[in-house]
């Protein structure tokens, strides 16, 4: 550990003293390089005697993290708010205390000012986009819509476009909520302590800080709970709003806390179990922080028990085992297939731990059994009673089986096991952290060596006369270079956006057609035998009435229309997962290909048109790389968010013409809406890609970068021996850092 800190300090000092920080920002972020002070703080904290075991709870938005924690920590009471968005979710820390209290950490005044300034930038962009779209809609207004309708359409389009580039819009949304609150943040303290005598009271008081309409919600950055709960002794649980948090200051705090964690629980919903976003998150955390103790929670497990193939013979314990099997197969399949990408050791870590299923809503139902008010709780409970009638005949039986469904007992056992192995985990975690940080620092050092060697080689083969001529040539051909670069970027922007649009639409169309096919294939019929009573009359002298033969029971059969709701639901959920995964994958592949392609082709184009003898090729390469990196930072992330509505959360067979038609109509409406959302998002992604690339001022920026790089080279050449000596000194120092 001491050796590692020494290496970190030497590299940090060397980079700072030689003004190389700016050139290595991307690499520093990629390898998770922390400042020496931060690294020392992490190590010091991990060496503290009797410190708490830190457990990180990870998962994407709406994965069921809050329900999971409400179930295991708050016994099913909804203390932590559900369905938070990335813009409003607070970082949450749970630890042991003697009372019921929460410490609310607000954004600092500097952080709020930063949010405000980005809000203003976004507001200007919204106005610009809205006016641009209004003029476009007005020119194409064949339907004769009013200006007010066109304005409304333009506003929605502008918002959707900026939402795709989530970062800047997150600041806009955050500050708008701050304005709506009418609170003067200058009067806010840095933090506020909330005390309560019960969870109900604590929950009520917290609504102002984390409720969707809470007046302090926009200002809440993090909440630390100190609770008199036995399970929190010696443990600190960190519930993260996400690693790809659009609010940068909160994301940084999240990354710092995750780096301190000794064990991680990933919460992944059964319907989208171990999707690409989960895998990227796990790989990033493990690669940069050396965490070996992983547990995976398959949340929202109650959904899996409503599939026909799981229901089977309606025996509840057998259904649970059948529902667990595909999750475990998915775990094995995913991590076995990722060995080349993640490395065998990492995948072995992910495979070592059994998947733990969980249904947080089951504990909520137990708490409210006999007086269910929440619609979602009622739907889940009604489905369980319908699908497993023999196991929900009494309250006591229902409670027992709901506890099995929640799997709380096994989760507690896992947490207890983690707690009992605390010292061993902390020791292993420290060793692994040292190893992973050492590996990252070695890679970082290698990048510095390569950069300095390139600078040295360029200096060796250059001379002042040649560089002076190149600077002169650059000034004379600057407008030509700007035109070449701008034309090239305009052309590639058009090609790229069309390729992305074609690939994404093709993928989305195939996936969405699957929903239509599932709807058609799910329709069937069921023959039922029914009875009816026929009145044959009283008979002569009422003899039928007197003998009891007046009424006769007749048996007949009817064909009833059926719809397999589970089939459709499964197809929709699969389509949503695949749309996100495939669109993200196609988009990233296209962008990565574009970056590689344009680097090579633009360099070649400039060399062909301008000539190698007029500008140093290494300088051109370096300048083009800088510009491509800058442009890439402004591109959207390419993801689409679609969540299944409550109206389609049905399972099993739906019976009857009316009910079937109603459900199928809801499916059609949802599918049309999903198609519209998907196509709108694809268009927005494509438009932003085109706009960012084509309007990036690449030519001017490239010329300016080239000019600065050539002037810097000229400065180095004016004192060539000293510059070479400096480079050699840096390389020697690097060679000594081992």
φ/ψ of 334, rounded to 5, equals -65, -50
φ/ψ of 128, rounded to 5, equals -65, -50
- Strands 356-357, 220-227: pairing is unpaired
pTM: 0.57
Q: What is the DSSP string of 377-417?
A: HHHHHHHHHHHSGGG-SSHHHHHHHHHHHHTHHHHHHHHHH
Tokens of 335: 């991590």
Q: Which helix (H) or strand (E) holds 535?
A: strand 523-535
**pLDDT at position 244:** 46
**pLDDT at position 50:** 62
**pLDDT at position 405:** 94
E-assigned strand segments in 121-272 = 191-196, 220-227, 235-239, 263-269
In whole angstroms, give the CA distance from residue 679 to residue 690.
Answer: 16
**pLDDT at position 39:** 80
**pLDDT at position 285:** 67
Q: What is the DSSP string of 28-47?
A: HHHTTPPPHHHHHHHHHHHT
pLDDT digits (tens, 9 = 90+) for 141-171: 766 778 888 888 888 777 776 765 555 677 7
Residue linked to tokens 């995964």: 581
Residues of the chain with pLDDT under 50: 83, 85-88, 243-246, 638, 642
Residue 238: name the closest of 73, 90, 94 by CA: 94
Residue linked to tokens 């710092």: 256
Residue 300: name the closest of 387, 400, 405 by CA: 405
In whole angstroms, give the CA distance from residue 255 to residue 131.
Answer: 39
Residue linked to tokens 């409003």: 88
In whole angstroms, give the CA distance from residue 89 to residue 214.
Answer: 12
Instruction: Give the angle subtended at the CA of 218 by the CAs of 217 and 222, to the nearest 5°.
Output: 70
- Are the C-beta atoms of residues 668 and 523 closer than 8 Å to each other? no
What contacts 328, CB < 8 A, 6 or more positions away?
354, 355
């Amino acid at each position: 550990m001491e050796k590692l800190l020494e290496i970190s300090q030497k590299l940090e000092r060397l980079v700072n003293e030689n003004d190389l920080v700016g050139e290595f920002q991307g690499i520093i972020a990629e390898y998770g390089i922390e400042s020496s002070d931060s690294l020392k703080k992490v190590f010091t904290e991990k060496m503290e005697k009797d410190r708490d075991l830190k457990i990180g709870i990870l998962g994407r938005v709406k994965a069921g993290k809050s329900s999971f924690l409400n179930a295991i920590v708050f016994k099913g009471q909804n203390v932590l708010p559900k369905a938070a968005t990335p813009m409003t979710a607070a970082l949450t820390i749970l630890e042991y205390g003697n009372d019921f209290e929460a410490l609310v950490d607000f954004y600092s005044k500097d952080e709020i000012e930063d949010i405000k300034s980005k809000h203003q930038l976004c507001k200007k962009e919204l106005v610009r986009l809205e006016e641009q779209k209004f003029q476009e809609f007005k020119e194409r207004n064949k339907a004769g819509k009013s200006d007010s309708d066109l304005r409304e359409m333009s506003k929605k389009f502008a918002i959707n476009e900026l939402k795709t580039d989530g970062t800047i819009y997150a600041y806009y949304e955050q500050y708008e909520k701050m304005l709506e609150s009418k609170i003067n943040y200058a009067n806010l303290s840095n933090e506020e302590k909330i005390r309560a005598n019960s969870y109900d009271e604590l929950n009520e008081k917290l609504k102002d800080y984390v409720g969707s309409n809470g007046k302090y919600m926009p200002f809440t950055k993090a909440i630390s709970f100190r609770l008199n709960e036995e399970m929190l002794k010696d443990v600190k649980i960190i519930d993260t709003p996400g690693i790809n948090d659009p609010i940068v200051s909160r994301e940084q705090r999240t990354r710092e806390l995750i780096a301190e964690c000794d064990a991680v629980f990933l919460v992944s919903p059964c319907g989208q179990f171990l999707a690409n976003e989960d895998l990227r998150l796990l790989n990033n955390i493990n690669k940069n922080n050396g965490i070996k103790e992983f547990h995976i929670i398959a949340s929202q497990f109650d959904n899996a028990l409503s599939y026909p193939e799981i229901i089977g013979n309606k025996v509840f314990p057998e259904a649970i085992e059948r529902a667990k099997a595909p999750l475990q197969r998915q775990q094995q399949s995913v991590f076995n297939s990722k060995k080349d990408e993640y490395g065998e050791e990492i995948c072995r870590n992910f495979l070592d731990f059994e998947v733990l299923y969980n249904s947080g809503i089951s504990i909520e139902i137990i708490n409210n059994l006999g007086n269910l008010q929440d619609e979602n709780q009622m739907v889940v409970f009604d489905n369980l009673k319908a699908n497993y009638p023999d196991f929900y005949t009494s309250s006591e039986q229902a409670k027992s089986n709901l506890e099995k469904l929640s799997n709380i007992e096994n989760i507690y056992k896992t947490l207890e096991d983690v707690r009992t192995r605390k010292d061993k985990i902390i020791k292993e975690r420290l060793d692994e952290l040292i190893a992973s940080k050492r590996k990252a620092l070695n890679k970082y050092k290698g990048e510095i060596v390569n950069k300095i060697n390139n600078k040295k080689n360029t200096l060796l083969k250059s001379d002042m006369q040649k560089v002076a001529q190149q600077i002169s040539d650059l000034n004379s051909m600057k407008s030509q270079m700007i035109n070449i670069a701008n034309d090239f970027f305009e052309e590639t922007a058009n090609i790229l956006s069309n390729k992305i649009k074609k690939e994404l639409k093709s993928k989305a169309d195939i996936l969405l057609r699957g929903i239509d096919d599932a709807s058609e294939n799910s329709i069937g019929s069921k023959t039922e035998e029914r009875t009816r009573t026929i009145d044959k009359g009283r008979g002569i002298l009422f003899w039928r009435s007197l003998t009891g033969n007046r009424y006769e029971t007749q048996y007949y059969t009817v064909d009833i229309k059926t719809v397999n709701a589970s089939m459709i639901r499964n197809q929709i959920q699969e389509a949503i997962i695949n749309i996100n995964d495939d669109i993200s994958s196609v988009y990233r592949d296209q962008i990565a290909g574009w970056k590689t392609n344009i680097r090579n082709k633009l360099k070649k184009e400039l060399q062909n048109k301008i000539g190698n003898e007029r500008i140093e090729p290494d300088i051109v390469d370096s300048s083009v790389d800088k510009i491509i990196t800058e442009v890439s930072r402004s591109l959207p992330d390419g993801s689409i968010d679609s969540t299944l509505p409550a109206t389609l959360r049905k399972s099993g067979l739906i019976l009857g013409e009316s009910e079937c038609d109603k459900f199928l109509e809801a499916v059609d409406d949802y599918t049309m809406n999903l198609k519209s959302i998907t196509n709108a998002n694809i268009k927005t992604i494509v438009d932003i890609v085109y706009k960012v690339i084509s309007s990036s001022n690449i030519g001017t920026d490239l010329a300016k970068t080239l000019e600065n790089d050539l002037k810097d080279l000229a400065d180095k050449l004016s004192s060539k021996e000293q510059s070479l000596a400096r480079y050699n000194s840096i390389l020697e120092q690097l060679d000594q850092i081992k």
